[in-house]
């Protein structure tokens, strides 16, 4: 019975890895579409940071399916690194955009920065 379950599991693991790779590609493709489609730096940044984190985590999970301990440790390290650095880099880029004077152009956006930022030319 245990060997039958192990055999069935070993047959489904490659399909699980393939599904996780396809999920990662889909998430990153949607993120690229979001970066192209969004109207301002802040919403583009949101789309990009979510897509990078979720897409790469899916790729790491597909790599971890191999069962090799070295690959699993590397995938965990990559995921931990992204978990720490993605929000920090998004904050730094958003802060630079704010200090540069870029406005939020999203319809209905509420700017709570207490700054009277001038409208960008052409908008």
109 occurs within a structural domain: no
pLDDT tens digit string along 6-55? 677 777 888 989 999 999 999 999 999 989 998 888 889 988 898 988 99
117 occurs within a structural domain: no
Structure tokens at 23: 């999920």
pTM for the full predicted model: 0.74
Closest C-alpha among 48, 7, 2 to residue 28: 48
Q: Which pLDDT score is estimated for 21?
A: 93
Answer whether residue 123 shows pLDDT above 70.
Answer: no
121 occurs within a structural domain: no
39 occurs within a structural domain: yes
Place of tokens 């599991």: 9
Q: Which pLDDT score is estimated for 119?
A: 57
Count of domains in the chain?
A: 1
The residue ranking higher by pLDDT, 119 or 111, is: 111
105 occurs within a structural domain: no
Structure tokens at 43: 């919403």
Q: Which pLDDT score is estimated for 6?
A: 65
Helix ranges, 2-68 (H):
2-37, 41-64
Residues 6+ apart with CB under 8 A from 16: 62, 65
46 occurs within a structural domain: yes
Domain that holds residue 45: 9-100
Name the average pLDDT for the chain. 84
56 occurs within a structural domain: yes
The residue ranking higher by pLDDT, 101 or 23, is: 23
Between the alpha carbon of residue 44 and those of residues 87, 90, 91, the distances in Å are 14, 10, 13
Distance separating alpha carbons of residues 92 and 87, to the nearest angstrom: 9
122 occurs within a structural domain: no
């Amino acid at each position: 019975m245990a060997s039958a379950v192990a055999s069935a599991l070993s047959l489904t693991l490659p399909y699980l890895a393939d599904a996780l790779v396809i999920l990662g590609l889909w998430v990153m493709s949607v993120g690229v579409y979001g970066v192209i489609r969004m109207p301002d730096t802040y919403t583009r940044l949101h789309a990009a940071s979510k897509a990078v984190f979720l897409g790469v985590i899916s790729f790491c999970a597909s790599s971890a399916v191999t069962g090799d301990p070295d690959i699993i440790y590397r995938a965990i390290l990559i995921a931990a690194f992204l978990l720490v650095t993605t929000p920090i880099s998004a904050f730094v880029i958003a802060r630079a955009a704010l200090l540069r004077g870029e406005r939020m152009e999203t319809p209905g956006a509420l700017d709570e920065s207490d700054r009277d930022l001038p409208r960008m030319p052409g908008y």
